[in-house]
Structure 1
């Protein structure tokens, strides 16, 4: 392997396009100067289609988890009842944040590797009419599940007046999102996943209905007060120092997405998902999720006859290819391949081919090339 040729195939952070890296290398500008105002003014309209909304997208210097906490602290007050749908480690993170803020929390725990069922949520809301907000994860990164947020939103709106708050961190710009049409009230994401940037930016967008709740929430908040970001963005500014280099990169990211076309971006992610799943099915290695629940941005593999950590070690040490391991109780039981953002079907053919060699090296009997061939067939078929 070459020391300076890493192959990063984890579900975030993800590789950054060279043109985006170059954009971020621009000389620093004053965060209160006209250049920054002009930059934000150009970015604002281009962000909206990625989220599927007519609302402005608020940009906060921070991580994806900062976005989750921002949603909680703005939309919910201590003592309010909320429902958290937990389908993995990041649904559980929403639950932990609610607990820290003394919120009365209900939770629906779904078996890891399975998607949330709207019928279960509907029944729960009928039994608990005081719930003020429902939290869910769009793509559960820890399991590779894409939750049916549109269907969840429908039952939430039918059965309650609760806000629907969605973690879109490892899905936005990789999976289709129609926030307004789907009835999502608060949607957050981070920069380091399908948005093709380094870590350091969190994005939040808010429905008119949610703004009414936020404006009447008198809980003290300083840095994470969304009304400050909304009011300043109207003037093409931010309440606090923005991550200017990341904003330079973001403008280039949005240009790349615009050039490719959002529909083509989503189709590329679906193709990579189908290629990856077809390859491991052909190799006889079980997948954690069903085809119906699978995410277009990350695939979780659950082998039964070899150690995933041994595979990861060979991939890293001999090929400089990094894939992710399992989290919490799935640690040492699964491995996860990220295929989002600056990633193409060609990258996945390379990744699958390397994994086949590594499987051979750890003693897993496979027919070399069979997984790659299955992925090639998907690509040739245009799936």
Structure 2
């Protein structure tokens, strides 16, 4: 018998309580009994996003919210700056280009965080830039960008939007939307929210809502003005994913009212730190050693080991599913998650499995040293 364990940075494991909540009988989304479900989800999301601004909910993946953050805010011919330091930074640029937005890319080495001074230079050189698009946590490289510092620069000079893909940041670490002056923050259900894929979230500042008034890029399903118009009646423009919202309400209760948001951040960081130190202890290199994201850890596949064989051994022989690299990192790294429904025993077990798989695929090291390192760090 082999138990299977999912350790990808999205989708993540879903708690039994959340799955049972989603198994409740379907209710009609225009009926009175749907309203408290939607209200509780909206208010809970505002608490996690740390904002007084509305947080919109879409039946979509996180990319849907990214799409809406371009098509509703800019017009063809407008100029945007994209911080491009991984696969999802590339996605911001691709979405902008799809809507006819002129894109200047600030390229960052994959695995590094952006230099705010370079953002400042780019904005000074091109004063017509209307929006800056950046990842808070670049999932493909397990690196963080300094969102707070970048936002201060964006705010200091000109009437520009600060748009943040926080799909693996919201609920993972402290990212206060209002206090940091972030205009748009997007996230998704299959990450820190411990949910299946299918819901996208977007916090939308007053400044962003003003930009909507003059934006002329085409859109239909992702129409933010329609969604905002429906909020006072606790309705969505289109049929919502009712079962997922029932699960979201349960997940928000667990995160906010039982565990606590700050305790959730602290647990995630502790798991990430223990993982990084355990990988170093057995001689492995990290892709993002200087600006690591607490959401996941990206580990370089050591010389002499084939990445696909390592992950296949983990999956088929040990029951652990880890994520591959993306784009130019495919086969060169493996990524394991810390965000969402993981505890210290999950993490220690995964590290032990990684050591066993490394030994089986040709990497010579003291098997068990990594797990012992993590155990010592997570004892308390």
TM-score (norm 2): 0.97
Kindly state the Cα deviation for residue 160 of structure 1 after the two structures are TM-superposed: 2.8
* Partner in structure 2 of residue 324 of structure 1: 323
Mapped to 2, the partners of 1:373 and 1:337 lie a distance apart of 18
The yes-or-no answer on 1:109 pairing with 2:107 is: yes
Deviates more, 1:300-309 or 1:329-338: 300-309
Rounded Cα–Cα distance in structure 2 between residues aligned with 1:274 and 1:50: 23
Residues 171/60 of structure 1: CA separation in 2 closer, same or farther (3 Å cut): same
Which aligned pairs between 1:57-96 and structure 2 lie closer than 5 A? 57-96=55-94
Rounded Cα–Cα distance in structure 1 between residues aligned with 2:41 and 2:62: 19
1:358 is displaced (CA, Å) by 1.1
- The aligned residue for residue 287 of structure 2 is 288
Residue from 217, 220, 223 that aligns with 1:222:
220
Whether contact under 8 Å (1:60, 1:203) holds in the other structure is: yes
Q: Per-residue displacement from partner, 1:313-347 (whole Å, max 9, x unpaired)?
A: 10011012100111111111111111110111111
* 1:260 paired residue number: 259
Deviations 1:137-161 (A, max 9, x none): 1110110001111111011112332
* TM-score, length of structure 1 as denominator length: 0.97
Q: Which residue of 1 aligns with 2:156?
A: 158
Q: Determine if the alignment matches structure 1 residue 122 to structure 2 residue 139.
A: no
Q: Distance in 2 between matches of 1:67 and 1:47?
A: 15
- Distance in 1 (alpha carbons) for counterparts of 2:73 and 2:238: 21
The offset of 1:195, in angstroms, is 1.1
Structure 1, residues 339-382: CA drift from partner, whole Å, max 9, x if none?
Answer: 110111111001001111111111211112110111112113x5
Name 2:362's counterpart in structure 1.
363
Counterparts of residues 148-227 of structure 1 (less than 5 Å): 148-227=146-225
Contact 1:125 1:160 in 2 (8 A): no
The separation in 2 between residues aligned to 1:87 and 1:217, in whole angstroms, is: 27
Q: How many residues align?
A: 378
The answer (yes or no) to whether the contact 1:10–1:323 under 8 Å persists in 2 is yes
Aligned residues: CA RMSD: 1.1
Deviation at 1:205, TM superposition (A): 1.0
Task: Write out the 4+ residue segments of structure 1 that deviate beyond 3 Å after TM superposition.
Answer: none
Deviation per residue, 1:52-109 (Å, 9 max, x gap): 1011211011111111001000111100011000110001001001111111111111
1:53 partner SS: coil
SS of the residue 2:378 aligns to: helix
Tell me how far 1:18 sits from its aligned partner.
0.5
For residue 217 of structure 1, report the CA deviation from its aligned partner: 2.1
What corresponds to 2:53 in structure 1?
55
1:220 to partner: Cα distance? 3.9
Question: Which residue of structure 2 aligns with residue 377 of structure 1?
Answer: 376
Residue 173 of structure 1: how far off its partner (Å): 1.0
Q: Offset at 1:120?
A: 0.5
Any idea what the Cα deviations from partners look like across 1:198-238, whole Å, max 9, x if unmatched? 01100011111111111232444221111111111221111
1:42 Cα shift? 2.1
Unaligned ranges ≥5, structure 2: none
Cα offset, 1:30, TM superposition: 0.7
Distance 1:181 1:344 in 2: 30
